[in-house]
Structure 1
Amino acid sequence: MDLRDEIETVLRGWHAHEADRGSAAVIDFDCAPTAAPVEAATSRLAVYRALSDLRVRTVGAGADRLTARLTADLAYLGALLGEHPPLGDYVRATQGCVAVGWRDDYVAYRGDQARQALGAVGVGWGSETVRELRAVEGPIEAGEAPDAIRQAAADYEAAVRQVTGSEAPFNLTIETAEVDAYWAYWLDGSGADVRLRLNLRRAGFTKVAARQFALHEVLGHGLQSASWSARAAAQEVPWVRLMSVHAPQQVLLEGLAQALPLFIAPDDELMVARTKFDHYNQLVRAELHVDLNRGAGVGELAERARARMPWTTEAAIADVLTDRGADPQLRSYLWAYPAGIDWFANLARADQATRTAVLHAAYRDPLTPTELAALWPAGPTIGGEGERGRLRALTLRRRP
C-alpha cells in the first residue's frame, strides 16, 4: 500500500504543522497509531504540492478511495490558503455529497414529527421548548455526567454490537474542558483508545443527554473508529487510516451517531423525541447554511432562524452563521450533520436486511456517501433532494 502510506506520511506532517501553529487538528482519529517520529511540514503550501502530486498518481492508479480522500484534503487545504469555492463544490469535494438542502414542505414534515413527539412527553413548541425539554429529561450536575455516560454506554453496548457486528475492543477516557466553541461533546483518539471531552461551557447535562451521547460519542464514534482500527490492524485496507472531519467519511460518522437511538432504543420516548427535534433543527441550520453561502443577508437569515427555531438564542444564531460562512473547516464539516441524520433517520424505516447491511458495513469501513448510497439505492439523496425531496415529503405525510 505504498500510495496510501505516502499519503498518511504527508497528512501526519501536515497535522504536526497545524499543531505547531496552534490551528485546528488535521487528524481526529488515528486508526493506525505509530511510535515513529513525525516531521512537521514546512508550510501549508508544501503540503498542498505534495498532496497534488499524490493525487495525480492515485488517479493514474485507479485508486478511487485514495483519490476521494486527497480531493477532500486539497479542497480543505485550499480553503485554509484562502480559496472560497461555491458551497456545493466545496461540500462535494470534502464531504462527498451534494449541498442543495431540503424543500420547505419536507422540513415542515420533520418539524411536525418533532412537534408531535415533544407534545407526547409534555413539551410545547415555542420559546420555552429547550427549557421544558431539559426539565423532563431530568437535569443532572456536571460532575455526575461522566459516570452517567459510562453507565449508559455499558447498558447499550451489547445492543450496538449486535446490530453492527462489531467485536472490537475499546478503552474510554472522559475529560472535561471549558472551550468557547460550537461543540458540547467531542471524541478523538487512536487505535482502541478513545477520549470523550465534555465542554462544560456548552453542554447541558440530563439523564437523557447521557444516554444520547453514550450512543453518539462512545458507541457511535468511539466503537466505530475502534472497529476500523481493529480491521486496519488485522489486514491491509484500501483507505487512508487517518480520520479527519473535512473528509467524506464524516457524513457516516455524524449521521449514524445522531440517529443511533432510532435503531437501538426506539421505545425510549424521550430520547426519540430529542432525536426528532435534533433532526428538524439540523434541517433548518442546513437551510441557513445554503442560503448564507448563496448571498442571503444576515438580517434576513436571523429572522428566519428565529421564526423556525423560536427556542434559539441570538448568540446561537450568530454562531450558526459565523461557523457556516467564515470557518473553512466548519463550512464543510457542519454539513455532515444534516446530510447524515436525514439519511440515517430514513434508513431507520427501511427493511431489516437493508438496515443490517448498512450498519455492519459502517462499522467495517469508513464509507463515503457514494458507498452508503450503493448499499441502499432506494434511499434519499444524501445532502438534499430538491423537487424529489418535496415529493418524498408528501408521500411520507400520507403514511398512517
Structure 2
Amino acid sequence: MRLRDEIEQTLRAWDAYEKARKASPVIDFDCAPTAAQVTAAPSRLDVHSTLTQLYKRAERDGDQVCAEQLRAHLAYLGALLGERPPLDDYLTATQGCSAAGWPEEYVTAVGERARAALADIGVSWDATTDRQLRDAEGPVEAADAPEMIRAAASEADPAVRALAETDAPYTLEITTVDVDAYWAYWLDGTGQDVQLRFNLRNATFTKVRLRQFALHEILGHALQSASYTATANRTDVPWPRLLSVHVPYQVLLEGIAQAMPLFVTPDDTAVTARVRLDHYLQLIRADLHRAINDGAPVADCADHARACVPFWTTDAIADILTDRGNDPQLRTYLWAYPAGIDWFVNLADTADTADTETVGKVFRAVYTQPSTPHQLTQLWPTGPRIGGPGTPLRLRKPSLP
C-alpha cells in the first residue's frame, strides 16, 4: 500500500480509538472521506509502533512530506503517553517552528497599536475594556447568531474566493454546545460538509464578533478545508489528507483565519480593531506559554498577565496557564495562534506598501494545500521569523496603584 494511504489508515484507527475512550479526536478535518469500515486501534502503544515504522519508511524513501507529518504525530502521541520534551523541541516537531518568542519592545509596540485601534472606536484600556467592547460592538441574541454569521460570510465570500482563486463548494451546519473548553467557536468536518459549533460558555455574540468569525471560521477554515478536499479530488496529492491540530500546518490555518479581516475588510474599523487586539493578546499568551513551560512560578506568570492585560480575569489567566502547561494537545496547538497571527498580520501590513503580489501568491498557495512554516517562509522569504526571532523572557509586575 502507498505510504500516504497507510498513514491515513493508521490515523483513522487511532482517531477511532481516542473517540471510543472519549478523548480528543485525532482527525480535525477529513479531506478524503471514505465509506470503509474503520476498526479502532488496540492501544496508543500499537499506534506508536505503527507510526514509528511508517516514519522509518518515509525517511528511507526520502518522502519528506510524509516524514514531517509522521514526526509530528509521533511527538504528540509520545506526549499523550507521558513524554514531556522541552517546549522548543515539542513545538518544532509538531507546529514546525520554535518557541523562540518575541522581544519585549516588539510586543509593547503591538500593544500600543492595539490600544490606538481601540481608542479609535471609543474603547479605553483598563479593567473594563472587555465589557466596553461588548457594549460597543452591538450585542446579539444567541438565537439570531447563526443567520447573521451566514449573512456576513455570504457578503465577504466573493472577495476571499477572488483572493484565493478557489471555487470549492461547501455546506455548513451550525450548532450550539456548552463545554468547559478554551474555544468559543470550532469548525470541523468531512469533505465539503462542515460543522460550526458555538460554545455558549465562551462565545460573545455581537455584530462585530460575528463578522470577524464569519471570516475566521467560515471563509477561513471551512472554505480552506473544502478547497483542500477539492484539490485532493482533482489531483493525486502527496500529503496525508487528514488534518490534525498537532501537525505543522496549524500555524498557517490559525494565522490566516485570525488575520483575514486585514486582507478582506480593512476598512471595517471595528473588526480590524479586534484583530489588532487579538495580535497583542496572543503575544502575551505566548509569553505565558513559554514561561509556564520553562518552570516560572505560577504567581509570577499571573502577575505578568495582569500587568499586560488589565481586563483578564483570574479564572481566564488560570485557564491560559493550565491549558498550555498540562494538556499535551494544547501545549502544542495553542502556539499556532501567536505564531500564525504574527506572521499573517505582518503580511497584511505589507499590502499597505503595495506588496499585493506576495499576498496573492500566499493566498493561492495556502488554499490549494496545507503549508508548513518552512513553506510559508519560502513564499515570503523577507517576512518575520515564524515563532519569533528569539529573546529572553522577562516577566513583568503589575504597576502599583
- TM bucket normalised to smaller: over 0.9
- Distance, in Å, in 2 between the alignment partners of 1:18 and 1:363 is 29
- Distance, in Å, in 2 between the alignment partners of 1:99 and 1:219 is 29
Cα shift readout 1:91-122 (whole Å, capped 9, x = no counterpart): 00000011111110000000000000000100
3-state secondary structure, aligned to 2:382: coil
**Counterpart position of 1:192:** 192
1:56-75 matches, within 5 Å, as 56-75=56-75
Query: Contact conserved, 2:100 with 2:391, CA < 8 A, in 1?
Result: no
Cα shift readout 1:364-390 (whole Å, capped 9, x = no counterpart): 0100011000100000010011269xx
Name stretches of at least 5 consecutive residues in structure 2 with no aligned partner. Answer: 393-401
**Counterpart position of 1:171:** 171
Letter aligned with residue 172 of structure 1? L
- Distance, in Å, in 2 between the alignment partners of 1:194 and 1:218 is 9
Is the aligned partner of 1:100 residue 2:100? Answer: yes
**Counterpart position of 1:371:** 375
- Distance, in Å, in 2 between the alignment partners of 1:59 and 1:372 is 23
Query: Contact conserved, 2:15 with 2:40, CA < 8 A, in 1?
Result: yes
Is the aligned partner of 1:339 residue 2:343? Answer: no
- Distance, in Å, in 2 between the alignment partners of 1:305 and 1:387 is 18
3-state secondary structure, aligned to 1:167: coil
Name stretches of at least 5 consecutive residues in structure 1 with no aligned partner. Answer: 389-400
Is the aligned partner of 1:203 residue 2:207? Answer: no
- Distance, in Å, in 1 between the alignment partners of 2:97 and 2:33 is 29
- Distance, in Å, in 2 between the alignment partners of 1:141 and 1:303 is 35
1:148-159 matches, within 5 Å, as 148-159=148-159
3-state secondary structure, aligned to 2:48: helix
3-state secondary structure, aligned to 1:169: coil
Is the aligned partner of 1:383 residue 2:387? Answer: yes
TM-score (norm 1): 0.96
**Counterpart position of 1:397:** none
1:349 to partner: Cα distance: 2.0
3-state secondary structure, aligned to 2:363: helix
1:336 to partner: Cα distance: 0.2
- Point out 4+ residue stretches in structure 1 off by more than 4 angstroms: none
- Distance, in Å, in 1 between the alignment partners of 2:107 and 2:137 is 25
**Counterpart position of 1:232:** 232
Letter aligned with residue 295 of structure 2? G
**Counterpart position of 2:365:** 361
3-state secondary structure, aligned to 2:172: strand
- Distance, in Å, in 1 between the alignment partners of 2:164 and 2:38 is 34
| Percent of paired sites with the same residue | 58
- Distance, in Å, in 2 between the alignment partners of 1:144 and 1:165 is 31
Letter aligned with residue 155 of structure 2? D
**Counterpart position of 1:312:** 312
- Distance, in Å, in 1 between the alignment partners of 2:198 and 2:349 is 31
TM-score (norm 2): 0.96
- Distance, in Å, in 2 between the alignment partners of 1:375 and 1:231 is 19
- Distance, in Å, in 2 between the alignment partners of 1:191 and 1:92 is 29
- Distance, in Å, in 2 between the alignment partners of 1:247 and 1:371 is 14
Query: Contact conserved, 2:18 with 2:25, CA < 8 A, in 1?
Result: yes
**Counterpart position of 1:269:** 269
- Distance, in Å, in 2 between the alignment partners of 1:277 and 1:357 is 27
- Distance, in Å, in 2 between the alignment partners of 1:33 and 1:74 is 23
- Distance, in Å, in 2 between the alignment partners of 1:386 and 1:369 is 16
**Counterpart position of 2:160:** 160
- Distance, in Å, in 2 between the alignment partners of 1:367 and 1:190 is 19
- Distance, in Å, in 2 between the alignment partners of 1:248 and 1:309 is 29
**Counterpart position of 1:396:** none
Letter aligned with residue 380 of structure 2? W
**Counterpart position of 2:397:** none
Is the aligned partner of 1:352 residue 2:361? Answer: no
3-state secondary structure, aligned to 2:123: coil
**Counterpart position of 2:330:** 330
Letter aligned with residue 284 of structure 2? V
Cα shift readout 1:27-74 (whole Å, capped 9, x = no counterpart): 010000000000100000000000000000001111111000000000
1:11-50 matches, within 5 Å, as 11-50=11-50
Letter aligned with residue 260 of structure 2? L
**Counterpart position of 1:242:** 242
Cα shift readout 1:4-46 (whole Å, capped 9, x = no counterpart): 0000000000000001111001001000000000010000000
Letter aligned with residue 167 of structure 1? D
- Distance, in Å, in 2 between the alignment partners of 1:338 and 1:349 is 16
3-state secondary structure, aligned to 2:381: coil
Query: Contact conserved, 2:14 with 2:47, CA < 8 A, in 1?
Result: yes
- Distance, in Å, in 2 between the alignment partners of 1:202 and 1:358 is 32
Query: Contact conserved, 2:175 with 2:197, CA < 8 A, in 1?
Result: yes
- Distance, in Å, in 1 between the alignment partners of 2:76 and 2:126 is 38
Q: CA RMSD in A?
A: 1.1
- Distance, in Å, in 2 between the alignment partners of 1:186 and 1:92 is 25
**Counterpart position of 1:128:** 128
- Distance, in Å, in 1 between the alignment partners of 2:154 and 2:323 is 34
**Counterpart position of 1:286:** 286
3-state secondary structure, aligned to 2:217: helix
1:80-119 matches, within 5 Å, as 80-119=80-119
Cα shift readout 1:186-241 (whole Å, capped 9, x = no counterpart): 00001101100000011010000110000000010000000000100111001010
